[in-house]
Every structure is written in structure tokens, then in C-alpha cells.
Chains A and B, each alone.
Chain A
């Protein structure tokens, strides 16, 4: 069998690979590993190393998808990741790039957007309906009548160019990785490899990122000399321990400070979809992506059988696949000439070569499901099944755009080049994107660039080392030698190249993914969208899955020609990250939601607690019957786990000044052992937090905050201390989780506490209401006892070292069994505190409720020297309070208005219910409400509108407290 003499069996089909060539020198397939996979239900053979599409092409398949709008048959165009016609469904994974994804044994692959089948596509009628799908059809059609949009949408939905995902698919496990290379080289072609080696030899740690499965770039499909050079470069890369190579990984974007997002597609098993996001903080970035071959725009340029020169060279050299039988080649450069040689070597009959440098051109490809003939400029038609174009190159400048660089059009090279003068110092460019030249010139340029990147990385490393951390005297000399001088980087030559974008016919596809033709762009310009940015958005050219990689420059050239401007004047659209598609799973990564729970959580779980997710905490909402739990507190004794209460340990001589500043009330005269309730406001006078603070020693205080406010108030206190009063001597230490906290409440709570406490006189005289003591509880030292009463009952709040929390909890329940001690949860506590009229910040106040509105007049001391929010509160008092928090009881006590029910006055909303519960103590519904101040007088009759729309009457109560307004029960 000759090199190109693959047996031509009975046509394409399962089991056979009629287009597979004899072994090629640079092939990446392993012929000893035969695989089998299914394509649209039928079995196909493949070798290890084959992509889905190379295996199908070897079997003689030429059509792999249907286009977005017109459902035109599409085949191979680029034979790489960015091939618009090769998106397929693999198992449950849609939109797989079939010319990149490797075949794995038993893989199930199907075509997308075809119905009923790839060969017989019913939606191909869109081609006949093309006049409805012209430029801007999104904005013109299906708009009227508006009411029909849902119907239009349902129909259009069937035409969407996407695969399907089963809702039953189990979520994958996604991980992220952080990397800190000195130098990140993106692009693993000869330039990238040479740059990486040079950087590593200069002492830098290097991350080398290559989008394809192997290093080497265009050397891989080159001749003997190229393959030898590749072997040598690869050996040098492998010999450098400082280089980490990521293949099948793509750089998605570059952000400030060279924060670089790399998508590692090879993180999972071969063929699997697992993607890993690598967040790399590189000191310098070397951009070496090479060049992307540009399609040529002519009538029929999207027919299966029209391929780029790099595509046929990849097929022949990497996968040993014969791309066709009889070819016409349009070449404008050396790579096109090399493709001609490769085709001949593969046994393809080359019917004609049109050399664009000598004025050659093609104007049309004819055929229905594939190329049958090519029409030349002079009208000659040549019959063939393959048309190869080598029309020029596009510089993938995405990362340069992201670094603020605006590439400039170079008519001589017929492509955009980086603006080398305006590159940031930590971004360097080498390889084909920077200029032309032979392999030696490119690798020399790359080696100099890599060494310079390493030098600059060293300079940045040194500057960061000198910058911190504070407290260590550092000098430039310490630990580092003298700074090496800059390494000169030679200029790369720029070779002349014909400016070849679109044939004279003004027909053909510009954007293969979005089905946007040259005609569409011309109509857009004719309709007035004559800036490239407007024409892009109007036609959606460059907005499909390829995001401009193939089509941007052609679109610019067509708009430029239509408007009579040059390409440089027309400019180009900006490439934005991500450079390549990324799954949401890779971006999201693993869920790392912290959950906090108290040391008593195992007991709660074992005793049927209903869990409540409160911020970061899980805590018991109740143990089955909150009303009974509440009654037990009123009648006997209950115990609640309040560990999430925020706790800040404050020490220092200036603590009273800090408390005076944070709270609206006065703190200067708080004696040792005393406790005070305090309210904090933000600087706009809005209630921020509340809680009690006790004085444990001469310069030692313990502050409690709301459970949700613990982190905020710590930050708030630090803010005042660090920015406004750095001279104050206060240490703030968060001790929320250092203590397990529990509240023992009810008329028998003292009896219970007496049984377990040592060293504290618990009599009402020695330890009265609003006092704090430290002592030994259940054998545990260093416990804090607070006599405070959120529930309105005699109660003791215990803070015990967290490790003994469960022990104390269990001891209290055991020793209090005969007293009726039982646990109660958050819901019972909410009932009890509502009966007592104690507000909850954030529930009974909102982001606009200033302290006077919350009924806290008694606490606010405007005559203090300074406190947060003081001026706003003074002005609130002077200007009228606006709204007021009041107690409310519906006249019919069996009606329970839902929280947030409106209060209506004169047909207008005049307030809302903020809290409501049925009261076990009163046997009726009770509420707190924020109402207009004019409705706040006790006895005022209110109208409450329930969510059902029904209106009920209610009365404002004399106090916020519905039970024991005088507080006698707390003080016994």
C-alpha cells in the first residue's frame, strides 16, 4: 500500500476506516491500541490518540453538524478545538469540541441540532426561509404581536444549536488550584517551549500552558527537520525541573496583577469532562499563542470539504487521515505550499493550485452536502471533493487586549500585531503573534524573551519581598544579589503577505458558528450599522461559540471595504475573557460553606431537635412543641443553647470610652459586676445591633452582640479603634466560640443554678438582676453567669468554656429533672421575648429604622460627648420621629396576622406587623408593629390588612411588653 493508497471500501460506514493512511512520521495515534465508539448509534473504530472527528474522518464521514440558522451541513474546517462544525454530544455532555476531545473506548457520541437525523435534516427548510433570518432578524422578526412571543419562543427553542443535559446527571466533583509561578508561558509551540526553557535556566519557576494535547505547535505537522527540532525542544523542556507543563489546558484570561485564569481540561481522566480552574498569580506572563489560520470568504466556503491548510496538515500528519480524493488548493503563503506537498504525499490528487501571490483566486465552491466542484476567478470549474485554503493568519490577541494593549493592523503582514510599545512591564510577547521568521529566529527571540521574563519576575519578587511584612527591616542587599541588567530582545521580521479576506463575489460565510454571511454584514452596513462594533452586534458575527477567533478580521475587512475605510481605520473588536468556553462547574469549584454548631449539637440531634439554619449556625428551632416549651419556661425552668450569641472580650483602660462611642447609652459609671443593655447605631442613626455588656474586672469587660452581628460588630469596633482613635488602649478579642452559652430561664432557675454552682452567692440581694459573676459551674472553672432576661423570666445566662458545654448542659438537665427542667428552642424563645416585648434587630427594625423609632428613647443619651450616629439621632428627635415600634393586639385574639401584614390608615399603608405569634401565656395573638408615629398612642385603633386582603381591627397596647410590663418576674 502506498502512502496515500488507503483501501477504499464500500463507502463510509461502521467498522471501516477507508481514509486512514499508512503510518506517518509525526502521527499521534497509537495503532496498537484499537478503540471502538458509537456515532449516532453506529459503531466506529478509532486508535488511542484519535479525536472524535479524526476517527470519523478516517471512516470517511464528512458531515458532523448542521449550522445554527440555515441548517447547512457542516464538516471539518480547522481540525482543532476551534472548529465550528465539529460540536457534538458525548454521552450526557453537550457542546463537546469533537476535533479536540480524544476518543475513549465505548464512548457514545451523537450529532447536535439535527432532526430527525444528520443526513435528513428537516430544519434544512430554513435555507428556503432564509429571507426571514437576515441580518438583525433577532430584532425584526417574531416581535409582533407581542402576545405570541411564548409561541415563537417554543418553536425557536427547537432550533437552538445546543445539545441536551439530563436532569438526572449527578453533579461532578470540581476542584480549583492555586499556582504561583514566576513566569507563566501561554502557548506550547516552539516559541513557548524555548521561552520556558530560557526562563527556567535563569532560575524562574515556570508554568507552561498548552491548549492542545501535546507540546509542539506547528512543528508537529511539519517535515523531518521540524520533527527533529520538536524532539530536541521537548527534551530540553523535560530536562528542566523548574518547568511544569499543563497540556490540554487553556489560558482563559489575564487580570490585574497578572492574575491568570487557566482551565486545565486534562485534570480528569482521559476523555472525561472534569475541568479544573487554575488561578495562577504569575510575576510575568509570556504570551506565545502562535497564530490562528483565517478562513477565506467565498460562496460555498462552509461546505463540507472546504478546509484550512492547517486542517489538512493536521489530518494527514497527526492522525494519518486522508482528507479527500481530489483537491484544489488556494495558497497565499508557505504553509499553503507545504499543504500541497502533504496532500501529494498522502495520495490526494491535486487538481489545481491557485497561488494568491500571483493573482490566483477561487470564487465559489459548489455542491449540496459537500464540495463537488470549485469555480475559479475566470469561471473555470474544476471537479473535486476538497478545497484547501491558506489565506492568512489571525493573531489571537485576547490576553494582550486584557492587558490593555490595542493591537495595530499591519497591512504588510495582513494581520494585527501587538503594540509592543504599550505592553505592561509584566507581559511579554513572542512567537508568531509577534512576527515572522524562521524557526531559529523565532526560538532565539523566544529564548531572549523568556530570559527577560525571568529577570523581570526576579525584580518583582525582590520588590514584593522588600514591601513586607512590616517589622522586619529589609534591605535590597539582604538575600539577593545585584539586579541583573535587561536582556536585549531582537526584533522579529514581518514578512509580506497578500491581504486576502473575501472573494469579489461578496458571498460566503463570515461567522460559521452564527451563520452570518458577507451579505448579512453588507446589509447591516447599508442599514447604517457601519461601525464594526455595531455591525457585530446587529448581525451577531463573532458572537458565537468561536468568539471571533476565525471571523473577526474577515468581518472587519468586509465592513471596511463596504464603508470605504481601511482596516486600520475600522479597527477591531475587543476580545474579552474567557478565551475559550468554561463550564460553570469549573468556575464554581467545590462548595466550601462553613457550618458552625455548638458543642451541645450532638445532644440536640439525639433529642429530636428541629434544626434551624441561622447565618453560619445550625441550632435547634425547637424540640417538637414550642408552645409547651415556652409554657415550661413561664411555669418551671427551661434551658436554651444560645452559643451563637456574639461575644467580644474587651480589655484595657479605655474600654469605657469605646463603649460610650459604640452604644447610644452611657457606660462611664458601670461598676464591676454590673451589666447594662446597650443599642448601637450606625453613623446614619439606624439601629445596628444590641446586646448586653458586663464589667468583669477593673479593665475587663465582656460584650455580647446579636448572633448575626458578631463579625460585623468586631469589625465595627476595630474600625473605630484603628482609624479614629488609635491612641485608645483597648484590646478586642472575639470569644464567641470559646464559650458555650446557655440560658436557664424560669421561676425555678435559681434553684437549679444553686445545685450546680460553687463560689457564687446566688441570692437576689447578692446577685441581683443585671449583674454578672464568674464562678464554677458543674465543676467547671472560669464560667460567667449573667442575670439577664430576654425571656422576661428570672434567668441566668451561662458562658462556659466550650469544651465543657455538653457536660454542663447535661448536668443541668439531670440535676433539674425534678424541677421540670427541659430544653427549649429558638421558636419558643421568640414567643417568650415577644410576650415580653423585646425587639430583635433586623426583625423589628430594618435598614431605615433609627433608634428613636425603635422605642429606645430611654436609652439614648444625646448629651454624651460623642457616639456613632449621635447627630442623626438629635436631628431625628428634633424633626419628628416618623415611625414607632409599638405593641399591637388584634381585637379578635384568635386572628394571627402574618408578619409583614400592612397597617392601613385612610387607604394608605401606615405601617406593618414586624413580629406576631400566638401567646401561650395570654391565649391570644400578640404583635409588634412599626407604625406612623401619629398611630403610636396606646389604645389607638389600627386596621391590619392580612395577606388574604381581609382587614382586621387591632389596638395599640400600653407597652411593648404584653406580659409582665413592670418586669417583676425577672427581678425576684
Chain B
């Protein structure tokens, strides 16, 4: 059970969070092609390595947190409040 550094609450047990999944940018709905939109809906890189993902601190502050996590070691590099500019976005 990994500890997630919630950007608001500090390190908390992963059981408090809902794992939303890989952070995938939403295409512009007015110009997206079906292929682009369905890639946004269904396709995930699922890398063995660093990935940027969204977690929802459901049993805590109820904030969406963007976390940069290594899927093999569970090491966490950055954690930012979702929607805020931060290193995670720069990395993504």
C-alpha cells in the first residue's frame, strides 16, 4: 500500500484515494477527429516507468492531485494540485 503525497494533506495511504488513471489531455471537442477523441477515451500508454496520473483524494480533501509515479518502483517524483501549473505538467 503506497503512500501518496497529497498536495494538500501530506503523505496519505493510497486507500484514501480513487485512482482516476493516466492524465490524458482532453482534445478540443470542436476540432477532434474520432480517432483523436477515442484515443483520449480509451488509449493509455501504461508504461513500465514514469507516468503522470490523476488521483482523487476521496476520503480526504477531495482534491484531484496530479502525481508523477514510477510504475515499477512506486517512487513518486512530483505531486501537484490538478489544474495548477507545476513540474508534473512540465514533465507531461
* B window 53-92: CB within 8 A of A: 54, 56, 58, 62-64, 74, 81-84
B45 beta carbon closer than 8 Å to chain A: no
A375 beta carbon closer than 8 Å to chain B: no
On whether the beta carbons of A281 and B29 are closer than 8 Å, the reply is no
* Complex-state Cα separation, A154 to B81, whole angstroms: 59
On whether the beta carbons of A722 and B7 are closer than 8 Å, the reply is no
* Complex-state Cα separation, A684 to B37, whole angstroms: 9
Question: Of the 9-residue stretches A85-93, A254-262, A594-602, which lies at the interface with chain B?
Answer: A254-262
Residue of A nearest to B12 (CB): A468
* Complex-state Cα separation, A718 to B84, whole angstroms: 14
CB distance from B76 to the nearest CB of A (A): 10
On whether the beta carbons of A870 and B34 are closer than 8 Å, the reply is no
* A window 255-284: CB within 8 A of B: 255-257, 259, 281
Given A467-B5, A467-B10, A470-B8, residue A866 in contact with residue B58 (CB < 8 A): no
Residue of A nearest to B79 (CB): A467
Chain A residues, Cβ within 8 Å of B30: 865-866
On whether the beta carbons of B10 and A715 are closer than 8 Å, the reply is no
On whether the beta carbons of B1 and A259 are closer than 8 Å, the reply is yes
Our pick among B9, B32, B40, B83 for the contact of A726 (Cβ within 8 Å) is B83
* Complex-state Cα separation, A722 to B23, whole angstroms: 13
Chain A residues, Cβ within 8 Å of B2: 256-257, 259
On whether the beta carbons of B41 and A683 are closer than 8 Å, the reply is yes
CB distance from A285 to the nearest CB of B (A): 14
A441 beta carbon closer than 8 Å to chain B: no
B18 beta carbon closer than 8 Å to chain A: yes
* Complex-state Cα separation, A870 to B26, whole angstroms: 13
Residue of A nearest to B40 (CB): A683
CB distance from A658 to the nearest CB of B (A): 14
On whether the beta carbons of A715 and B32 are closer than 8 Å, the reply is no
CB distance from A503 to the nearest CB of B (A): 44
A10 beta carbon closer than 8 Å to chain B: no
* Complex-state Cα separation, A934 to B3, whole angstroms: 54
Interface string of B1-37 (1 = CB under 8 A from A): 1110111111101000010100000100110101001
* Complex-state Cα separation, A467 to B76, whole angstroms: 12
On whether the beta carbons of B13 and A281 are closer than 8 Å, the reply is yes
On whether the beta carbons of B74 and A715 are closer than 8 Å, the reply is no
Chain A residues, Cβ within 8 Å of B5: 467-468
On whether the beta carbons of A469 and B83 are closer than 8 Å, the reply is no
On whether the beta carbons of A470 and B41 are closer than 8 Å, the reply is no
Our pick among A468, A715, A870 for the contact of B6 (Cβ within 8 Å) is A468
Chain A residues, Cβ within 8 Å of B58: 715
For the side of the interface on B, what is the size category?
A: 20 to 34
Residue of B nearest to A257 (CB): B3
On whether the beta carbons of B83 and A255 are closer than 8 Å, the reply is no
Chain B residues, Cβ within 8 Å of A505: none
Given A715-B56, A718-B64, A870-B29, residue A684 in contact with residue B13 (CB < 8 A): no
* Complex-state Cα separation, A684 to B40, whole angstroms: 10
On whether the beta carbons of A257 and B29 are closer than 8 Å, the reply is no
Chain B residues, Cβ within 8 Å of A725: 83
* B5, B29, B34: residue with the most chain A Cβ atoms closer than 10 Å: B29
Given A684-B41, A724-B26, residue A256 in contact with residue B83 (CB < 8 A): no
Our pick among B1, B20, B29 for the contact of A255 (Cβ within 8 Å) is B1
Chain A residues, Cβ within 8 Å of B3: 257, 281, 464
A723 beta carbon closer than 8 Å to chain B: yes
* Complex-state Cα separation, A229 to B3, whole angstroms: 40
Chain B residues, Cβ within 8 Å of A256: 1-2, 74
On whether the beta carbons of B64 and A866 are closer than 8 Å, the reply is no
A360 beta carbon closer than 8 Å to chain B: no
Our pick among B11, B20, B26, B41 for the contact of A468 (Cβ within 8 Å) is B11
Residue of A nearest to B31 (CB): A871
A719 beta carbon closer than 8 Å to chain B: yes
* Complex-state Cα separation, A312 to B72, whole angstroms: 46
CB distance from A878 to the nearest CB of B (A): 10
Chain A residues, Cβ within 8 Å of B74: 256-257
On whether the beta carbons of B29 and A866 are closer than 8 Å, the reply is yes
Chain B residues, Cβ within 8 Å of A723: 54, 64, 82-83
* Complex-state Cα separation, A972 to B59, whole angstroms: 46
* Complex-state Cα separation, A470 to B5, whole angstroms: 10
* Complex-state Cα separation, A529 to B5, whole angstroms: 46
On whether the beta carbons of B29 and A719 are closer than 8 Å, the reply is no
A875 beta carbon closer than 8 Å to chain B: yes
Chain B residues, Cβ within 8 Å of A468: 5-11
A499 beta carbon closer than 8 Å to chain B: no
Residue of A nearest to B34 (CB): A875
On whether the beta carbons of B56 and A719 are closer than 8 Å, the reply is yes
* Complex-state Cα separation, A256 to B2, whole angstroms: 5
Chain A residues, Cβ within 8 Å of B34: 871, 875
Chain A residues, Cβ within 8 Å of B54: 723
* Complex-state Cα separation, A723 to B92, whole angstroms: 14
CB distance from B57 to the nearest CB of A (A): 11
Chain B residues, Cβ within 8 Å of A718: 56, 62, 64
* Complex-state Cα separation, A722 to B58, whole angstroms: 13
Interface string of A442-473 (1 = CB under 8 A from B): 00000000000000000000001101111100
CB distance from A860 to the nearest CB of B (A): 14
CB distance from A666 to the nearest CB of B (A): 16
A872 beta carbon closer than 8 Å to chain B: yes
* Complex-state Cα separation, A722 to B81, whole angstroms: 8
* A468, A725, A870, A872: residue with the most chain B Cβ atoms closer than 10 Å: A468
Residue of B nearest to A463 (CB): B11
* A window 853-878: CB within 8 A of B: 865-866, 870-872, 875
Chain B residues, Cβ within 8 Å of A871: 29, 32, 34, 37
Chain A residues, Cβ within 8 Å of B10: 464-465, 467-469
Given A257-B3, A468-B6, residue A722 in contact with residue B83 (CB < 8 A): yes
* Complex-state Cα separation, A259 to B15, whole angstroms: 12
Residue of B nearest to A471 (CB): B8
Residue of B nearest to A723 (CB): B82
Chain B residues, Cβ within 8 Å of A255: 1
* Complex-state Cα separation, A719 to B58, whole angstroms: 11
On whether the beta carbons of A719 and B64 are closer than 8 Å, the reply is yes
Chain A residues, Cβ within 8 Å of B64: 718-719, 722-723
* Complex-state Cα separation, A871 to B40, whole angstroms: 12
**Residue ranges of A at the interface with B (Cβ–Cβ < 8 Å):** 255-257, 259, 281, 464-465, 467-471, 683-684, 715, 718-719, 722-726, 865-866, 870-872, 875
Contacts A/B (CB < 8 Å), 29 sampled: A256-B1, A257-B1, A257-B3, A259-B2, A259-B13, A281-B3, A464-B3, A467-B5, A468-B6, A468-B8, A468-B11, A469-B8, A469-B10, A470-B7, A470-B8, A470-B9, A470-B81, A683-B40, A683-B41, A684-B41, A718-B62, A722-B64, A722-B81, A722-B82, A725-B83, A726-B82, A871-B34, A872-B37, A875-B34
- Other A-B contacts than A281-B3, A865-B30, 19 sampled, CB-CB below 8 A, are A255-B1, A256-B2, A259-B1, A259-B2, A468-B8, A468-B11, A469-B8, A469-B10, A470-B7, A470-B81, A718-B62, A719-B20, A722-B63, A722-B83, A723-B64, A725-B83, A726-B83, A870-B29, A871-B37
- Listed from nearest, the 7 A-B pairs whose CB atoms lie closest are A468-B10, A726-B83, A259-B1, A257-B3, A256-B2, A722-B64, A723-B82
